[in-house]
C-alpha cells in the first residue's frame, strides 16, 4: 500500500494511509516567515510547465552554483503555505536549494528524477518528507532532520537502509519499491509505527529488535523465506507477508510467540497452497483475528484445532512407524552380525579339525593349509561401527519376529521360541508364508512340528542364511503337512550350488506336489526328471531294507512325533486324530521315501554315543560266547582225539569185569545191597 499524500488547500494536511488512526493527523500551520536570500542568482533549470497545483507560484532561479537551482517562492505563497512545499512532477534531477524556508514542515518531491537527497539540511523543522518516485540510490543528507516523523522513499533505487541514526522521532518509514536486501540500521527507531518494505529484495526478516512501537509491517512482494524476531515487536498488530516465498510454518514460527499480532496475510506464498495451511496458522496463532484480509470465525477456529490435532496424531504415528522400522533394521543388522560371527567361528573350527586329522605323511603333495581369513580386528572394526549406531536405541534384541498379514518372518535363532506363543486362531490361520533368516537349519528342523500345528495354512517356506549344506536336510521338510512353494535363497545356503538340488527336493517332497521352487514353476518334466534321478534310491530305501530296519526307522519318526505331541500343552483332541491321519497318509503315499530321514548332526552324534555302550556290551557278550564256543570246540576236538583210546579202555574194562561170570554176579549183587 502506498503512502499517498493528498494535500488539501485547506488548513490541515491529511496523510491518507488507511492504517493511520485519526488521531495522528498531522496539522500544519501556515507560517508567515519569509526569509530573504542575500543576492543570489537564481537559475532556471527547467522551464517546462508546472503541473502541480502550487507550482505556478514557484520560481526556480539559477544560482551561482552551477548544478543546484535555488528555490524561491513569492511572498504570498510563503504566507499562505508557509510550512509546506510541494515540488511534485517538477522534473527535478537534483534537490534545489531551498532558501528562507526554515519553518518548513512538509516537503513534497514526488514524481521527480532526483538522485540524491541534498540541500535540505537547513530545514530542521521538517516533519514530513516525501521523495516518492524518484531515482535516489542512497539514503543520505537526513542527519539534521531530527524532527522528521514521516519519511516516504518509495519507488526509488535504494539498496541499503542507512543514515537514519538521528531520525529518532520517525513515525512512518516507507521504503517500498526499492532494492533493499536486508533490514538493518532501524533498531533505534523506537517510535516507528509503520514500516513499509514492500516490493524489495528481502530474503529473510530479522534484526527487528528495538522497534518497540511498530504496529504495522508491510513485507509484501519480497523473496522472504523465513521470518525471525517478530516476537520482539511488542506492538505489532498487522503483518503483511503476501507474495513471498514462505513454504513452511517452521520458518515463521516466531509468529506464534507474538501476542500482539491480530492481522496477517500469507496469500501468494507457497505455504498458502498447502492443504494444512489454514488450520496450521489458526492453530499456532490463536490471537489472530484476520487472515488474508478475512475475519476468522469461531467455526473456522474449531475446525482448525481439530485438524491440527489430527495432523499431530498422524505425525506421531509416522514417527512411531519410522522408529519401529529403524529398530527393526538395527535388530536385523545385529542378528546378521551375530550370524556372521557364528559362521566364521564354525569355519575356523572345522578347518582346524581338518588340519589336525590330515597328517602330512598321508598326502605326498603339498597342501596349503586352508586359508582362514579370520581376523579378530576385522570383526572388531565391524563391531565398533555398528555399536556406535546402536547406542542411539536403548533396546536391541538378538532376534526379530514379524507378522505382516500373511507372512511370518523370523530372524535369528531366538525367534524360534516365538512359535510357542499363544497365537490367535485367526491370525495364525492367515499366515501362508513363513520366512527364516539367520537361523541354522538344524534348529529349524526341531520346531517344524510346532510350525505344523500352530500355523496350519503355511504353504510357502523361505530360507535365507540358514546354512543348508546337504541334500539330506530336505528330508526333514517331509514331515510338514503341505508345502506349495519353497524358496531357498542362495545367500547363506550352499546347497543351491548343487546341480541336482531342485530335483532332489521334488523327489523327496513329491507328495506335496509343489508348485514353485525359487519362483520358477515346477513342470511335469521336472517331476519326471526327479523321479528318474532318484527313483532307485527310493526303491532301495524301501524294498531292500530288511523289515526290522524299516520298522525301526519309521518307528523313530513316529516316536518323535508322539513325543512332541505329549509335550505340547493345550492340545485339542481333534488335532491328535489329525496327526494320526497325517502320518498314516504320509506312510501310505510314500512308503518308499519315508525312510529317507534327516537327523541333525547333533542328534546323530548323540545317538551314536548312546549306542557305544551297547556296542561295548555286545562285544563283550559275543566275546564271551566265542570263548565259550571255542572252548567247547576245543573240548570237542580233544574229545575226538581221545575218544578212540577211551573207548578201547572202556570196552577193555568191561570185558575184564565180565570175564568171570560168577564173581561178576556176586559183585553186582553186593553193589545193589550196598546201595540200600
Q: Which is nearer to another protein, 369 or 535 (CB)?
A: 535
Distance CA 133, CA 137 (A): 12
Rounded Cα distance between 220 and 242, Å, is 5
| Contacting residue, 60, 471, 477, 486, with another protein by CB under 8 A | 471
Q: Does 497 bind another protein (CB under 8 A)?
A: yes
CB of residue 595 to another protein, shortest distance in Å: 7
Around Cβ 508, how many Cβ atoms within 10 Å?
24
Verify binding: residue 534, another protein, rule CB under 8 A. Answer: yes
Closest alpha carbon to 114 in 93, 131, 132 = 93
Residues 301, 306, 312, 318, CA torsion sign:
negative
Binding another protein by CB under 8 A: which of 22, 356, 363, 368?
A: 363
Is residue 546 near another protein by the rule CB under 8 A? yes
Q: Are 91 and 69 in contact (CB under 8 A)?
A: no
Distance of CA 311 to the CA centre of its chain: 19
Query: What's the CA gap between 429 and 486, in Å, rounded?
Result: 19
Exactly one of 251, 518, 583, 591 binds another protein (CB under 8 A); that residue is: 518
Q: Which stretch binds another protein (CB under 8 A): 420-428, 441-449, 452-460, 510-518?
A: 510-518
Q: Which of 22, 356, 377, 544 binds another protein (CB under 8 A)?
A: 544
Q: Which is nearer to another protein, 454 or 462 (CB)?
A: 462
Distances (CA, A) of 596 to 442, 479, 486, 579, 671: 16, 11, 19, 20, 75
Closer to another protein by CB, 301 or 558: give it.
Answer: 558
Nearer to another protein, 80 or 470 (CB): 470
Task: Confirm if 195 and 186 have CB atoms less than 8 A apart.
Answer: yes
In terms of CB distance, is 404 or 623 closer to another protein? Answer: 623
Asked whether position 626 contacts another protein by CB under 8 A, the answer is: yes
Binding segment for another protein (CB under 8 A), chosen from 206-214, 306-314, 363-371, 477-485, is: 363-371
Q: How far is the CB of 572 from another protein (least distance, A)?
A: 28
Binders of another protein among residues 552 to 581 (CB under 8 A) are 552-553, 555
Q: Does 526 bind another protein (CB under 8 A)?
A: yes
In the complex with another protein, the residue whose CB is nearer, 362 or 394, is: 362
Number of residues interacting with another protein: please give it, by CB under 8 A. Answer: 69
Position 641 contacts another protein (CB under 8 A):
no
Beta pairing, strands 294-295 & 216-218: unpaired
With contact defined as beta carbons under 8 Å apart, do 80 and 102 qualify?
no
Task: Please pick, from the candidates 293, 306, 323, 536, the single residue that binds another protein as defined by CB under 8 A.
Answer: 536
Asked if 489 is part of the footprint of another protein (rule: CB under 8 A), the reply reads: no
**Contact residues for 50 (Cβ-Cβ < 8 A; gap 6+):** 56, 58, 90
The residue (of 527 and 587) whose beta carbon lies closer to another protein is: 527
**Residue from the set 372, 374, 618, 665 that interacts with another protein by CB under 8 A:** 618
Nearest residue (CB) to another protein, 329 versus 355: 355
Q: How far apart are CA 299 and CA 184, in angstroms?
A: 41
Our finding on whether 176 is near another protein (CB under 8 A) is no
Q: Determine the Cα angle at 550 with ends 547 and 512, to 5°.
A: 140
Among 234, 429, 535, 588, binds another protein (CB under 8 A): 535
Tell me the C-alpha distance between 226 and 205, whole Å.
Answer: 6
Among 16, 633, 636, 663, binds another protein (CB under 8 A): 633
Of 69-77, 152-160, 374-382, 470-478, the window that binds another protein (rule: CB under 8 A) is 470-478
Are 261 and 252 in contact, with CB atoms under 8 Å apart?
no
Least distance CB 614 / another protein (angstroms): 5
H/E stretch holding 648: helix 601-658
Nearest distance, CB of residue 355 and another protein, angstroms: 11
Sign of CA pseudo-dihedral 527, 529, 533, 539: positive
CA triplet 3, 8, 9: central angle to 5 degrees? 155
Site string for another protein, 323-362 (x = CB under 8 A): -------------------------------x--xx--xx
| Interaction between residue 670 and another protein (CB under 8 A) | no
Q: How far apart are the first and last CA of the chain?
A: 159
> Which candidate, 528, 523, 541, places its Cα nearest to that of 472?
541
Contact with another protein (CB under 8 A) among 306, 322, 567, 621: 621
Q: State which H helix or E strand residue 346 sits in.
A: helix 298-357
**According to the binding rule CB under 8 A, does residue 66 interact with another protein?**
no
Written as one string, the DSSP assignment of 579-645 is HHHHHHHHHHHHHHHHT-----HHHHHHHHHHHHHHHHHHHHHHHHHHHHHHHHHHHHHHHHHHHHH
List the one residue from 525, 640, 671, 675 that touches another protein (CB under 8 A).
Answer: 525
* Interacting residue with another protein among 520, 645, 662, 675 (CB under 8 A): 520
Please tell me whether residue 611 binds another protein under the rule CB under 8 A: yes
For position 540 contacting another protein by CB under 8 A, the verdict is yes
Instruction: Decide: 225 and 202 in contact? Cβ < 8 Å.
Output: no
| Interface contacts to another protein, rule CB under 8 A | 354, 357-358, 361-365, 470-472, 494-495, 497-500, 502, 510, 513, 517-518, 520, 524-529, 531-537, 539-541, 544-549, 551-553, 555, 595-596, 599, 604-605, 608, 611, 614-615, 617-619, 621-623, 625-626, 629-630, 633
Amino acid at each position: 500500500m502506498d503512502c499517498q499524500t493528498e494535500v488539501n488547500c485547506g488548513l490541515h494536511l491529511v496523510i491518507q494511509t488507511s492504517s493511520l488512526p485519526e488521531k495522528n493527523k498531522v496539522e500544519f500551520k501556515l507560517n508567515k516567515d519569509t526569509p530573504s536570500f542575500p543576492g543570489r542568482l537564481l537559475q532556471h533549470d527547467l522551464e517546462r510547465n508546472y503541473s502541480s497545483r502550487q507550482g505556478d507560484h514557484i520560481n526556480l532561479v539559477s544560482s551561482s552554483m552551477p548544478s543546484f537551482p535555488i528555490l524561491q517562492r513569492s511572498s504570498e505563497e510563503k504566507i499562505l503555505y508557509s510550512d509546506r512545499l510541494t515540488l511534485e512532477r517538477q522534473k527535478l534531477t537534483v534537490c534545489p536549494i531551498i532558501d528562507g524556508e526554515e519553518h518548513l514542515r512538509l516537503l513534497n518531491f514526488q514524481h521527480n528524477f532526483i538522485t540524491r537527497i541534498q540541500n535540505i539540511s537547513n530545514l530542521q523543522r521538517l516533519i514530513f518528507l516525501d521523495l516518492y518516485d524518484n531515482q535516489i540510490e542512497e539514503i543520505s543528507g537526513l542527519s539534521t532532520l531530527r524532527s522528521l516523523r514521516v519519511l516516504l522513499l518509495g519507488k526509488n533505487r535504494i539498496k541499503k537502509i542507512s543514515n537514519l541514526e538521528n531520525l529518532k522521532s520517525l513515525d512512518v518509514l516507507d521504503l517500498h519499491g526499492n532494492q533493499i536486501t536486508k533490514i538493518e540500521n532501524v533498531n533505534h527507531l523506537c517510535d516507528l509505527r509503520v514500516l513499509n518494505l514492500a516490493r524489495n529484495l528481502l530474503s529473510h526478516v530479522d534484526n527487528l529488535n528495538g522497534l518497540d512501537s511498530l504496529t504495522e509491517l508491510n513485507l509484501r512482494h519480497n523473496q522472504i523465506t523465513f521470518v525471525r524476531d517478530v516476537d520482539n515487536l511488542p506492538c505489532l498488530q498487522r503483518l503483511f507477508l503476501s507474495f513471498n516465498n514462505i513454504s513452511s510454518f517452521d520458518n515463521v514460527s516466531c509468529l506464534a510467540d507474538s501476542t500482539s499480532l491480530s492481522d496477517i496475510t500469507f496469500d501468494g506464498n507457497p505455504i498458502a497452497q498447502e492443504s494444512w495451511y489454514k488450520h496450521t496458522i489458526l492453530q499456532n496463532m490463536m490471537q489472530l483475528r484476520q487472515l488474508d484480509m478475512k475475519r476468522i470465525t469461531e467455526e473456522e477456529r474449531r475446525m482448525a484445532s481439530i485438524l491440527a490435532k489430527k495432523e499431530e496424531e498422524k505425525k506421531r504415528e509416522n514417527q512411531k512407524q519410522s522408529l519401529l522400522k529403524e529398530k527393526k533394521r538395527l535388530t536385523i543388522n545385529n542378528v546378521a552380525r551375530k550370524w556372521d560371527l557364528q559362521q566364521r567361528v564354525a569355519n575356523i573350527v572345522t578347518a582346524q579339525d581338518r588340519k589336525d586329522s590330515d597328517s602330512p605323511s598321508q598326502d605326498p603333495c603339498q597342501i596349503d593349509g586352508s586359508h582362514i581369513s579370520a581376523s579378530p580386528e576385522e570383526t572388531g572394526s565391524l563391531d565398533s561401527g555398528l555399536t556406535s549406531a546402536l547406542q542411539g536405541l536403548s533396546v536391541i534384541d538378538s532376534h526379530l519376529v514379524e507378522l505382516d498379514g500373511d507372512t511370518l518372518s523370523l530372524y535369528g535363532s531366538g525367534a524360534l521360541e516365538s512359535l510357542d506363543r499363544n497365537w490367535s486362531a485367526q491370525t495364525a490361520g492367515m499366515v501362508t508364508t513363513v520366512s527364516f533368516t539367520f537361523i541354522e537349519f538344524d534348529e529349524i528342523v526341531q520346531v517344524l512340528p510346532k510350525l505344523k500345528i500352530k500355523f496350519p495354512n503355511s504353504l510357502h517356506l523361505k530360507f535365507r542364511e540358514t546354512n543348508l549344506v546337504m541334500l539330506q536336510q530336505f528330508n526333514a521338510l517331509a514331515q510338514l503337512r503341505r508345502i506349495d512353494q519353497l524358496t531357498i535363497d542362495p545367500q547363506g545356503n550352499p546347497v543351491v550350488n548343487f546341480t541336482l538340488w531342485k530335483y532332489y527336493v521334488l523327489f523327496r517332497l513329491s507328495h506335496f506336489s509343489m508348485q514353485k521352487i525359487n519362483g520358477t514353476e515346477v513342470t511335469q518334466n521336472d517331476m519326471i526328471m526327479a523321479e528318474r534321478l532318484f527313483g532307485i534310491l527310493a526303491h532301495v530305501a524301501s524294498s531292500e531294507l530288511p523289515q526290522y530296519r524299516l520298522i525301526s526307522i519309521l518307528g523313530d519318526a513316529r516316536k518323535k512325533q508322539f513325543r512332541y505331541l505329549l509335550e505340547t500343552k493345550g492340545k485339542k483332541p481333534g488335532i491328535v486324530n489329525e496327526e494320526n491321519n497325517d502320518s498314516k497318509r504320509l506312510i501310505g503315499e510314500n512308503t518308499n521315501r519315508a525312510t529317507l530321514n534327516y537327523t541333525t548332526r547333533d542328534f546323530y552324534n548323540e545317538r551314536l554315543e548312546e549306542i557305544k555302550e551297547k556296542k561295548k556290551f555286545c562285544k563283550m557278550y559275543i566275546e564271551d560266547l566265542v570263548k565259550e564256543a571255542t572252548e567247547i570246540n576245543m573240548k570237542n576236538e580233544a574229545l575226538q582225539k581221545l575218544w578212540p583210546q577211551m573207548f578201547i579202555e572202556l570196552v577193555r574194562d568191561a570185558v575184564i569185569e565180565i570175564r568171570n561170570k560168577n564173581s561178576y554176579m556176586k559183585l553186582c549183587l553186593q553193589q545193589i545191597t550196598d546201595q540200600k
